Amino acid sequence: MHKKLIRILFLIIALAGYLFSGTTGKIAGRVVDKNTGEPLSGCNIIIKGTQMGGATDIDGYYVILNIPPGVYTLQAIYVGYVTQEIQNVTVKVDLTTKINFKLSEASFEGEEIIVIAERPLIQQDATATASVVGAKEIEMAPIESFEQIAQTKAGVNVGPEGSLHFRGGRSSEVAYIIDGITVTDAIHGGTSAIDISTNAIQELSLITGSFSAEYGQAMSGIVNIVTKEGGNNFSGNLSFQTGDIVTSSSNSKYFLSEINNIDPFNTSEIEASLSGPILRNRLSFNVSARYFDDKGYLYGQRIHTPTDIADSIQTGDGAFVSLNSNKKYNIQNKLKWKVTNSINFYLTTIYENRKYQEYNHTRSKVPDGIPWQYKTALQFIGKITHQFSKFAYYSVALGYLDKDYKRYLDKDIYSLKYVWNGYSAGQYFYPGGTDNFRQFSNQKQYTIKFDLTSQLFKNHEIKTGVELKRLSLFNHSYYLSVDRRAEPFVDSNNNGVWDVGEPFTDIDRNGNWNDARDDNGDGIPGNTIILEGYTNDKWNRKPTEFAFYIQDKMEFKDMVVNLGIRFDYFDPNGRVLRDPTDPDITNPIKNENIWKDYGTDGIPNTNDPDGTENNGIKDPGEPEVTLAERQTYWYKKADPTYQISPRIAFAFPISSNGKLFFSYGHFFQLPPYTYLYQDYENKVKPGLIQTSMGNPGLKPQKTISYEIGVEQQITRDMVAFFKIYQRDMRNIIGQDIVILPNTDAYGIFVNRDYGRVRGINFSLEKRFTSFFSAAIDYTYQIAEGNESNPTQRVRNYRLKIENLKKIVPLDWDQPHTLRLNGSIGQPNNWMISMIGRIESGYPYTPQGANEIVRIAEENSARKIPIINFDLYAKKSFAINMGNNSFIFSVYGKIYNLFDRLNEKYVWDATGRATYGLGLYGGEFDPDWQRRPHWFYKPRQIFLGIEYSF
């Protein structure tokens, strides 16, 4: 039955395509005679400057579908009546903008009236929590990335590791979508596989409540980005900003002194955009680019060079070296071709290139041994939309994503940059050597989508679609084993060998010249090899994802209901072990997998007279079990899985300016693929759990979400929100411990963790009127679970810490969060805006001074609160030259305005990042105790200029 159902669904895919995540909204309303109230049938409703529009039915109702997000001007044209124009009409993704017209009879031909629309403070058809941020809001906020936009919204926390957490979930529970195509990092999860600059974003939607059936592969939230498109008028923008860390002496002591040397060009950024027509009314473009160069602020000092072998040998020049520099550039382009009045074709191209380094404290005195990381990503999205009737349209989209990641010190494994790394950091710093771990990963994603939207019976918006996604995932991570090379010498007699008396560099300071050594045992002294076995993780898998959904948005006068159901199918294209207690097919442990216990005659079932058959001992003459024979029974195919997710939400008015809404849904998500395919060859490192093994048999994770909320407009420009929510998380990824017959052990990823999130949110917002806007948002939230990290059980087992049988605060839990936003000024003249965050500190587990013995329950203590305010100020000058107008602006940004030293991580013995206790209560080396990467950035100041037209 299941196989038959799957065949039918794949047939649908072959004929149709894939679901299309929301990228458009709609306008609907009614047109009546102002004096009589009678409906006006056949009135034309036109979106000015476009070829989109509609006409009223016999009852005066109209609807315009498939409108990209933005601000429009709407016209109602009816013979014998005054033409009415309504400006400043805002359209948002997945939502309905209600615009009603009351037309008066015209006293003369061509009479027209203009009305400025005021955006409703309460979106009556929104049935769950979502924050929508438009291009204008992004432009005026002190932010540098779309992730920073998300941090300003209710329900979104930033964990100490820097990842976004939506309503208490793990960072991997968020889906990222650009122009309707999912771009989530499939291998590791938790981030977008490709970055996009903020000047390319038309609208960003953050869905933190229950989302409708068209959205899948997420449990906590959705980040939905729609990029800008061109129009019939040319416009452009060019900006440059630069700045550096400017912090107080009381803060700088926790960093190396180099942070006090202010470089005005330490962090610089150039952004440019251009849009306009190629063929007027037919073909348009929008292209944007960003170059970002951050030289970093976390420094190491070159006390050692990689060839040093002891702390007493210091051949470095003492220079300060940045260890967290970040250089990247992005390019985005969107073409729109209006093939006919009802058919549009879009082509979006996004490219990202990044080179960066991550701070490594233990290697901070030998900075030349820290590797670089490289990321490139390319995204193509082709989409065609066809509105084949006034009340229906379909969209077909094709997506291609290629993300490539590399980590190495040098591309060439035989490079002299790599040196022997047999040193131990001991308690403190490495005295030499290089980080010889290398990693290469690639995600290729092919997506085809089909979505059909139809407005039926005036009150029903039906959406249905299918999805097919094919992934090609590659990972290869390994260590280099580098021999110690011969010490350099001056070959005075040119004979190619060192002779007594010839000068040489005494690297190990023993007074003797040392020849190359064969440390890796390959028989070639001074050579470099790639280590095989359990440290060499290489896999290439091609899983398939499929989904089908149908939903009905029912919009009645006194109620809006969203009802939908979603089907997800997943084939991991992998294998699982039949016997997890004997995992390595090339090095079996159990006797029955090593030899055949047939007895000395080597023939089964002969009851050897000497009693050697089935005696459990390998006797002479008994044959080996060959690798080919083991391959016939060692593995079994991982079964495909499917899930059905119901979704329901409704909203109805409770007053003339208020509404109540409720949402409920089941949400499923596949784990990041690294948890399925890691250590795919099942190699186990000897010892006490040194291996974490993937499991292609993992099932989707599940969340059941509930939310109820009230929204009430208080004044013409002020609105209040109150929401209560709960999320129950099950089948979250954790680990089981597998003990092998030879007493080795390993961890394997399984669906075993669970958690619960409960929260209350209150918000008060004032829209921009009388020269200012403001918002205050308070959330009380408890995020609990049995484990914060999928690998936590292995760590606990290794340290002999008992696994929890109850839920505790998760690592990113912040019970109290207060967000403050405000702007003051005159648009297009001057503006000052500020974003503030006052939040509970993250939890931590107090431990004894030896950092092994716990003295309290897990995550039972709190770090100090996080307080941060960011400021943005801008002054614009309009320049008119004939019929052309230009705007020149100067601006400043201050991040962490009050220079508070917020702490991400702390010493578990003290609860502070500023000081700790050494082993058994002793004193630390001051350099070792100084942990600059445990703090958020100190105050950072930028100055910039901008030109636009």
Residues 41 and 34: beta-carbon distance below 8 Å: no
Say if residue 219's pLDDT is above 80: yes
Tell whether 34 is covered by a domain: yes
Residues 154 and 722: beta-carbon distance below 8 Å: no
| pLDDT over 70 percentage in the chain | 95
For residue 5, the model assigns a pLDDT of 39
For residue 852, the model assigns a pLDDT of 58
By 3-state DSSP, what share of the chain in percent is helix, strand and coil, each rounded to 5?
Answer: 10, 50, 45
How do 181-182 and 201-207 pair as beta strands? unpaired
**Residues 196-215: tens digit of each pLDDT:** 999 999 999 999 888 899 99
For residue 474, the model assigns a pLDDT of 98
Mean pLDDT of 589-604: 89
Which long-range contacts does 805-809 make (Cβ < 8 Å, 24+ apart)? 807/754, 807/755, 807/756, 808/784, 808/857, 808/858, 808/859, 808/860, 809/782, 809/783, 809/784, 809/843, 809/859, 809/860
Mean pLDDT of 340-345: 92
Measuring CA to CA, how many Å separate 808 from each of 161, 756, 907?
Answer: 19, 10, 20
What's the mean per-residue pLDDT of the chain? 90
For residue 146, the model assigns a pLDDT of 86
**Residues 114-173: tens digit of each pLDDT:** 878 777 888 888 888 888 888 888 888 898 888 888 888 888 988 888 889 999 999 999
For residues 660 and 795, what is the distance between their CA atoms, to the nearest angstrom? 46
Residues 169 and 703: beta-carbon distance below 8 Å: yes
Residues 856 and 809: beta-carbon distance below 8 Å: no
Tell whether 56 is covered by a domain: yes
Say if residue 686's pLDDT is above 90: no
For residues 509 and 58, what is the distance between their CA atoms, to the nearest angstrom? 97
Give the tokens for residue 669. 């998500």
Mean pLDDT of 177-192: 93
Q: Where are the beta strands (DSSP E) in 248-391?
A: 267-279, 283-294, 299-301, 320-322, 326-338, 343-356, 372-389
Residue 767 corresponds to which amino acid? Answer: R
Tell whether 65 is covered by a domain: yes
For residue 543, the model assigns a pLDDT of 97
For residues 588 and 682, what is the distance between their CA atoms, to the nearest angstrom? 11
Sign of CA dihedral 894, 143, 128, 28: positive
136: nearest Cα among 828, 890, 719, 896: 828
If residue 79 lies in a helix (H) or strand (E), which one and from where to where? none
Say if residue 312's pLDDT is above 90: no
If residue 315 lies in a helix (H) or strand (E), which one and from where to where? none
For residue 926, the model assigns a pLDDT of 86
Say if residue 702's pLDDT is above 90: yes
**Residues 83-101: tens digit of each pLDDT:** 999 999 999 888 899 999 9
DSSP code for 340:
S
* Residues whose CB is less than 8 angstroms from the CB of residue 232 and which lie 6 or more positions away in sequence, other chains included: 49, 276, 277, 280, 281, 284
Say if residue 424's pLDDT is above 80: no
Tell whether 178 is covered by a domain: no
Which long-range contacts does 622-629 make (Cβ < 8 Å, 24+ apart)? 622/595, 622/596, 622/597, 622/598, 623/595, 623/596, 623/598, 624/594, 624/595, 624/596, 625/588, 625/592, 625/593, 625/594, 625/595, 625/596, 627/585, 627/586
For residue 569, the model assigns a pLDDT of 96
**Residues 794-849: tens digit of each pLDDT:** 888 777 777 667 899 999 999 999 999 999 999 889 999 999 999 999 999 998 76
Mean pLDDT of 335-363: 95
Instruction: Check which CATH number belongs to the domain holding 55 and give it.
Output: 2.60.40.1120
Say if residue 873's pLDDT is above 70: yes
Say if residue 9's pLDDT is above 80: no
Mean pLDDT of 37-53: 91
Tell whether 91 is covered by a domain: yes
Give the tokens for residue 470. 């094919």
276-280, 336-340, 428-432: lowest mean pLDDT where?
428-432
For residue 286, the model assigns a pLDDT of 97
Say if residue 108's pLDDT is above 80: no
Say if residue 177's pLDDT is above 70: yes
For residue 20, the model assigns a pLDDT of 42
For residue 884, the model assigns a pLDDT of 80
For residue 234, the model assigns a pLDDT of 94
Tell whether 481 is covered by a domain: no
DSSP code for 856:
S
Say if residue 13's pLDDT is above 70: no
Beta partners for residue 793, in sequence order: none
Tell whether 270 is covered by a domain: no
Question: Within its chain, how far is the Cα of 875 from the centroid?
Answer: 34
* Residue 12: pLDDT band with limits 50, 70, 90: very low
* Residue 700: pLDDT band with limits 50, 70, 90: very high
Cα angle value 546/3/462 (rounded, 5°): 45
Count how many domains the chain has: 1
* Residues whose CB is less than 8 angstroms from the CB of residue 838 and which lie 6 or more positions away in sequence, other chains included: 817, 818, 820, 865, 866, 867
| pLDDT over 90 percentage in the chain | 71
For residues 810 and 755, what is the distance between their CA atoms, to the nearest angstrom? 9
DSSP code for 26:
E
Letter string b/e over residues 523-549, b meaning 16 or more CB atoms within 10 A of that residue's CB = eeeebbeeeeebbebebebebebbbbb
* Residue 784: pLDDT band with limits 50, 70, 90: very high
User: Pseudo-torsion of CA 858, 861, 867, 868, nearest 10°?
Assistant: -20
Domain that holds residue 85: 20-116
For residues 346 and 336, what is the distance between their CA atoms, to the nearest angstrom? 5
Mean pLDDT of 230-235: 92
* Residues whose CB is less than 8 angstroms from the CB of residue 21 and which lie 6 or more positions away in sequence, other chains included: 177, 180, 181, 182, 214, 215, 224
Measuring CA to CA, how many Å separate 263 from each of 266, 267, 899?
Answer: 5, 8, 18
Question: Within its chain, how far is the Cα of 594 from the centroid?
Answer: 46
Tell whether 286 is covered by a domain: no
For residues 809 and 359, what is the distance between their CA atoms, to the nearest angstrom? 28
